[in-house]
Structures are given as structure tokens and as C-alpha cells.
Amino acid sequence: MAAYKPVRQIKSSEITDPEVFANRRKLLRMAGYGIGVSATGLLPHMPALAAAPELGDLAAWPGSTDETQTSWEIATSYNNFYELGTDKGDPQRNAHLLKTDPWSVEIDGHCEKPGTYTLEDILKPHALEERIYRMRCVEAWSMVIPWVGFPLGDLLKRFEPTSSAKYVHFQTIMDPENLPGQKSPVLSWPYVEGLRMDEAMHPLTLMSVGIYGKVLPNQSGAPIRLVVPWKYGFKSIKSIVKISFVDKQPDTSWNLAGPREYGFYSNVNPTVPHRRWSQAKERRLDSNSGGLSSLFSSKQDTLMFNGYEEEVASLYTGMDLKENY
């Protein structure tokens, strides 16, 4: 396996660098996003576009993995997005049923600045970066994806959470009229997820708006989703419409569906098996391994915290990770 370089924390001065801002605006204009870019804003509204437009050159995260990337074709055709169906191909097939324009995110709970923010409001002050993360699904397959986004913590700070905010709760769009999966009781809807406040503020935790330098396609969770690379994929909730600062550990969809199988923490941990299968190994879906046919090829070892142990292990000091699975 290729070496993993430890992440570097981006300083706030780098995030707010006016040159970076100006450059991004230029790139977005070049990408055809010129109309509607405000004097201060970087990103105009991002409509759901089938032909996912380029986002231009992006600053690469120095801690990105240099392992072989999964291809765009696999990453956008082999998805879990139960609102669009439970088969791996359903999200791509039904992607057009997810309406992402207009889009807003409601912020509530223990914070000084609750409210309903348009997608432009949410994105405006944030410079986008590219981060190549491994993603490990609880179903024991994994991908390497170049995500485009910005740290969730930078967004959360803007709403000034109070000391009562111990956890962050996320909710996906609820639209049973259009989203076929929400007509079935396969999960209790809307899809919800949660993180402890320190996990949410960790610099690896990303709000993503794109992949492979392009705007997120709907099946990947447009227009804005979470990416938590040291946790099983289901924690990375898609198409977020609400973020709540709460004082108690919140409900999560998969924990509600199967509390003995899916815990709140769901950290990638090869030493703690799922109740029905081992988590010690994974099948990597990448371009070299024959793409989806690698589902039937050899497995590689799963790394503790998905290989991000150096960065995140301290969040769990003193916790029994078998109890807190």
C-alpha cells in the first residue's frame, strides 16, 4: 500500500487569503459560473447539473493519499443513497428525481446564529480544496475519492455554537413525492446522522460540494454532503438540509434500523467485526483492480481509523471502542 502522508492543518489566514478568493472567482467564471457571483461571494448557486461542470484548479490537501483513485465512473454508478433506491445502480438511475435548486440549510439548536441559510450563504466565505481520502463502506468495500470541499468546523464556527452544543445532528432532504426510496420503510425517513462536537470540528471532517474537480452529481449527495474519512461510509450523510447543535447524542438512521449492528461512533476498526461479517479486510474499487469486478478479487487489510489513526485516535482516548462501536 502506498505511504500515507499525515495531514497538515490549514491556517485560517490561508482560508481567507484574498488572492485565493479572487483566483477561485476567476476559475468559477471560466467554468461558466460567472452569472450571479456577488462581489464578496465565491460561489453562485449550484444547480444540479447532469453534466457536472468543472470547478477549476483546486488547492490540493497535502495530507491526501496518493493511492490509486477510484474512477469517476465507478464512484458515480456504485452508490448507497437509499432515498433513490437500494440497489447500487439506483442512485445514478434515479438521480434526476432529486431536486437541488433552490436549496437551503436550516441551522438550529444551541447556537447564537440559527436561521435558514441559502446554499450561497453557506458556501460564500469558504475557499474550496481538494482532498483525496479513502472511504471505507461498512459493507467491506472501499474507494479513493478526490473530494472538493471545506472543513465542516469552519462552517459550524460561523453559527457560534454555545457550550451546550455537545453533538451535531444532520438531516437529509425529505421529499417522498419525488424520492422513490422514501416511499418504502427500508429506513425511517428523513435520513439522519450525528457527530460528537469534537469529531465535527476535526480538520479532517469535510463539507463536500464536489468530486474529481466537478460539482457533486446528485447520486453522490448534491448539493452538499458530509465526508468523515475515518468512519464507515454511512456517517457521510448526503444532501443535507438541516444541521442542529444538540446537547445529547442524537439518533442516527442506521442505529435506529439496527442498533446492534450500527453504533453511533462507527469508526473504521478492523478489530471490531460487524455482527454478521468481519471488518478486517476490504475490497478496493479502483481503476487498476478491474473496477467493479474487483468485488470478486483479492482483499486488502483494513487500517485502524481507515488509516487516519495518527490524526484522530486522540479523540477516543480512554474509550472502549468495542463498547462504543
Residue 61 to residue 297: CA distance in whole angstroms? 31
Stretch that binds ligand MTE, among 147-155, 198-206, 228-236, 292-300 (CB under 6 A): 228-236
3-class SS of residue 158: helix
Q: Closest CB to ligand MTE belongs to which residue? A: 233
- List C-alpha distances in Å: 268 to 171, 282, 304: 22, 11, 6
Residue 146 to residue 143: CA distance in whole angstroms? 10
Q: At 269, give phi and psi (nearest 5°).
A: -150, 105
Nearer to ligand MTE, 65 or 239 (CB): 239
- List C-alpha distances in Å: 143 to 159, 259, 282, 287: 33, 26, 10, 10
Shortest distance (Å) from residue 16 CB to ligand MTE? 29
3-class SS of residue 295: helix
Is position 127 an interface residue for ligand MTE (rule: CB under 6 A)?
Answer: no
Is position 252 an interface residue for ligand MTE (rule: CB under 6 A)?
Answer: no
Shortest distance (Å) from residue 141 CB to ligand MTE? 9
Shortest distance (Å) from residue 173 CB to ligand MTE? 8
DSSP for 209-221, written as a single string: EEETTEEPPGGGT
46, 74, 119, 137: which one binds ligand MTE (CB under 6 A): 137
Shortest distance (Å) from residue 262 CB to ligand MTE? 9
Residue 48 to residue 206: CA distance in whole angstroms? 20
4, 46, 83, 212: which one binds ligand MTE (CB under 6 A): 83
Cβ-contact 252, 158 below 8 angstroms: no
117, 189, 191, 308: which one binds ligand MTE (CB under 6 A): 191
Is position 92 an interface residue for ligand MTE (rule: CB under 6 A)?
Answer: no
233, 250, 263, 307: which one binds ligand MTE (CB under 6 A): 233
33, 61, 81, 230: which one binds ligand MTE (CB under 6 A): 81
What's the grid cell of residue 188? 425511517
Positions in the binding site for ligand MTE (CB under 6 A): 79-83, 137, 172, 191, 220, 233-234, 236-239
